[in-house]
Structure 1
Amino acid sequence: MANNRPTSNSDGIDIEFTDVSYSVNVWTPGKIFRPEKKKILQNVSGKFLKNQSYAIIGCSGSGKSSLLNFVSGYKTTGYKGSININGKPRRREVFLKRSSYIMQDDHLQPYLTILESMEIASKLRYCVMKLDVYQQVIIKRILENFKLTEKQNTLARNLSGGECRRLSIAMELIRNPKVMFFDEPTTGLDMASANKVVSVLRDLAKSGRTIICTIHQMTASHLNLFDVLYILSPTGQCIYRGQSSQLLNYLSSIGLHCPLHHNPADYVIEVSCGEYGDYIDSLVECADNGKSNSWCEEKQDQSVSEEAVLNENFTVETYRQKRSSRFFHELRVLIRRTMLISSRDSELINIRLFAPVIVACLFGLVYYDIGNNGLYTRDNVTLLYFCVTYIVFLSAYSMSIKFPLDFLLMRLEHFNQWYSIKSYYACLTIMDLPIQITSTGLFCLVLYVMSGQPFELFRFVLFSLMFILTGLLSQATGMLIAILFKSFLMNAIVISLILLPTTMFAGIMLRISDTPKMYTWIYDISMLKHSVQGILHSVYGFKRADMECPEIYCPNRSPSSVLQNFSMSENIFWISAIYITGIFVCLKICTYMVLKKKL
């Protein structure tokens, strides 16, 4: 398998893990406050050596993916045990730069072509905005080897399952990783596509890499394509670690004989499930829970050279020195990628832009030209209150729905060292800001004109500014909640629990003067109250002249009386704007910190 740079034996990576355990809490009815511990992995050990392909197999729930997640460094919480890389304790920061993880589900950008996906991956890898001839040749060779050249201009959304899987592998080869992890790479593929993927994995191992996979259902033909098997029992223990060609001899040594024309992989899983008697303890003892090397071929040279160690240290130092310059480069590439995707998938953007305009037209038709009529001041205030409430909920829910859809892909790309969290977060903020401002600005323009608010430029600017700040704050709230929970149902519940109380303490439906004194302090910290007060002052404040009134008795002709009626006569527009901006900045910082912690 040709790739961008050959990997020599001295450059490979050997992985050794010892006494790895993993357990999870299981809540059962009647024991809500006393969850039971379920052991997924029980003190398993083993080695994954370079130049070999490994298949981790076992029945569902045996801990295949859990072991892969720990060895790859994708997850570390809740695990016990140690991992050595080339005989030395693993440094996760260094290891992640030399490995890649391809998940079971192909997380690809659906609106990028194969060639565009490869080029963007290469730009992020080499820190360039334009690829040179050498880098283009690398991409061409990889696509040829993976038989993707003919479809290089096809969008990822239009590819078959096997083509998506091969594209996922090809994109990671741009980084030339020394270790590659695959979570069930053949699941969901037909036999022909699965055979191609497994053949690719075998060729990658021959090029000097360490290839580690979990396989849910292994066929007899696939069994011979993997060098070493690592088999887990339903109890999370290793019952075999050795050459795939020695599996039947291993079983025979314990008195188990695979029936003729029966798939050995299926047979050993059936044995582990107890279909032929209770052999689990014997198998675990014979394999020494993964520590036994009796059925593995001895490797001639497993030592790491001093040159490799120095190269490893140099990689870390170089990365630290270039971190600031990489940030701006990654940001530029991610912004261009986002713009390209948005130009092809504009449905969500169009909805965010035009849905507020449609709602503003509906509000404007119902409350047409009441802004300068003293008889309808109460209706006008109610209109403004409902409009700001609409912007609050729209902004919060739109982000809480959008972000979880991109989170899994972002998490995998960041884990595989495509870019830093800081670059992604900055790109997300920069690219979403114009959309949020434009949609809210259009809403304000249509509403302001149709409802007949005073035609004064400075009032419209202040009016729009307060709406935009409120929308941005609500959007930041929705994003933070989306990161914390990542479930659409939980997001909706938590957002409602946070935002609904603010609508009560906005000073409109429940006036400040009518509120019990023990609750009046809530108005001082209520985001919606500050927003409503700022909007009312942009319309009725700043020494506005008396409004028109067709009747003789008109108690709300004076704008100041309107503000006084809602206990908002004090003009604190800029204080409210600064307060909302301050909360917005704090939420953005908290969101970044939570996102960094989650990853």
Structure 2
Amino acid sequence: MIIRVAGASGTIFTNGEPRDLHQFRKLSRYIMQEDLLQPYITVQEAMMIAADLKLGNGITKEKKLVIAEEIIQLLRLQKARNTATERLSGGERKRISIALELLNNPPVIFLDEPTTGLDDVASSTCVSLLKRVARGGRTVVCSLHTPSARLFAEFDHVYVVAGGRCAYQGTAPGVVPFLKELQLPCPKTYNPADFIIEVSSGEYGSHVDKMVSAVENGKNQRWRTYGIEENPSGEQFEEMEIEQLNAGGVEKHNYKHGCSACQQFIVLLKRMLLQTVRNK
């Protein structure tokens, strides 16, 4: 992998320690904006093929079925389990993309604009399900552009970048009071997400330096707990499904490859033959 550095350099830390790139690649999963799914196979088949590739022969088929079923239920894909991937709706395609990456239980998940191309209902459902995943002890990081006010309020933590610097780091409810302290009051009928993005883009003058200074380029912890309640109402998540997923037979942090090159060839050959037969 070639990484082009343009005017920026530094060290990436995870949990206060310098990142081990080889290890971090296995600890994290990246879900792209575009859902690249194999056609002519069902959701259930896609899950089992991915389980064979990611989990290998060290886990029995019965355990793989249990893990796949728990993830399908967690992401509300029960009704689509026998639907071919090319016939899924936009929201279902996004959910199966997430489901495939949850199979080997990654502690960190990155998503590039997971709500792009989805309507308001599908976007809200997607973010709600991501919150369920996060409540299971995983770190879920999403990049978003101009989310709706309702969607913006769903996120636990917001990080705004302007010119490569941190212009805000804290909770979604903290955005408005943060800007107000900087003499940048957000209009009452305005979306706070839109407003802070516009301010960071310079549409209201040069305020980026002031914002960066106020949060000490992300080091200030003041806004990270603003508006957080110990037991927020309306956020009752079913922990049982998450606990079952964690105990479903997958190693907590699996650094090994799922299966050998020979096993990969066999699994992919079976998938290709299945797709060829169905594409006639």
So what's the TM-score if we normalise by structure 2? 0.83
Would the alpha carbon gap of residues 80 and 285 (structure 1) be closer, same or farther in structure 2, given more than 3 Å must change? same
Would the alpha carbon gap of residues 129 and 237 (structure 1) be closer, same or farther in structure 2, given more than 3 Å must change? closer
Q: Indicate the residue corresponding to 2:230 in structure 1.
A: none
Q: Indicate the residue corresponding to 1:175 in structure 2.
A: 104
Aligned length: 253
- Distance in 2 (CA, whole Å) between partners of 1:283 and 1:272 is 8
> Is the contact between residue 109 and residue 138 of structure 2 (CA under 8 Å) also seen in structure 1?
yes
- Distance in 2 (CA, whole Å) between partners of 1:104 and 1:124 is 23
Counterpart mapping for 1:535-554 below 5 A: none
Counterpart mapping for 1:155-554 below 5 A: 155-233=84-162, 235-297=163-225, 319=256, 326-345=260-279
Q: Deviations over 1:50-79 (max 9, x none)?
A: xxxxxxxxxxxxxxxxxxxxxxxx873326
- Displacement of 1:287 in angstroms is 2.2
- Distance in 2 (CA, whole Å) between partners of 1:120 and 1:240 is 42
Q: Deviations over 1:546-597 (max 9, x none)?
A: xxxxxxxxxxxxxxxxxxxxxxxxxxxxxxxxxxxxxxxxxxxxxxxxxxxx
SS in 2 for 1:81: coil
> Is the contact between residue 119 and residue 139 of structure 1 (CA under 8 Å) also seen in structure 2?
yes
SS in 2 for 1:127: helix
SS in 1 for 2:195: helix
- Distance in 2 (CA, whole Å) between partners of 1:273 and 1:93 is 35
Q: Extract structure 1 runs of 4+ deviating beyond 4 A.
A: none
Would the alpha carbon gap of residues 75 and 267 (structure 1) be closer, same or farther in structure 2, given more than 3 Å must change? farther
Q: Indicate the residue corresponding to 1:15 in structure 2.
A: none
Q: Indicate the residue corresponding to 2:73 in structure 1.
A: 144
- Distance in 2 (CA, whole Å) between partners of 1:326 and 1:284 is 48
Q: Deviations over 1:285-330 (max 9, x none)?
A: 21222233232249xxxxxxxxxxxxx9x955xx3xx79x622112
SS in 1 for 2:169: strand
- Distance in 1 (CA, whole Å) between partners of 2:264 and 2:136 is 30
- Distance in 1 (CA, whole Å) between partners of 2:37 and 2:75 is 17
> Is the contact between residue 104 and residue 254 of structure 2 (CA under 8 Å) also seen in structure 1?
no
- Distance in 2 (CA, whole Å) between partners of 1:125 and 1:162 is 24
Question: Pairwise CA RMSD of aligned residues?
Answer: 2.4
- Displacement of 1:242 in angstroms is 1.1
- Distance in 2 (CA, whole Å) between partners of 1:87 and 1:328 is 39
Larger relative contact order (CA 8 Å, sep ≥ 6): 2
> Is the contact between residue 27 and residue 254 of structure 2 (CA under 8 Å) also seen in structure 1?
no
> Is the contact between residue 123 and residue 131 of structure 1 (CA under 8 Å) also seen in structure 2?
no
- Displacement of 1:129 in angstroms is 10
Structure 2's unaligned 5+ residue stretches are: 227-250
Would the alpha carbon gap of residues 195 and 86 (structure 1) be closer, same or farther in structure 2, given more than 3 Å must change? same
> Is the contact between residue 50 and residue 100 of structure 2 (CA under 8 Å) also seen in structure 1?
yes
Q: Indicate the residue corresponding to 2:3 in structure 1.
A: 76
> Is the contact between residue 123 and residue 129 of structure 1 (CA under 8 Å) also seen in structure 2?
no
- Displacement of 1:127 in angstroms is 1.0
SS in 1 for 2:160: strand
The answer to which structure has the higher helix fraction is 1
- Displacement of 1:217 in angstroms is 2.0
- Distance in 1 (CA, whole Å) between partners of 2:122 and 2:207 is 35
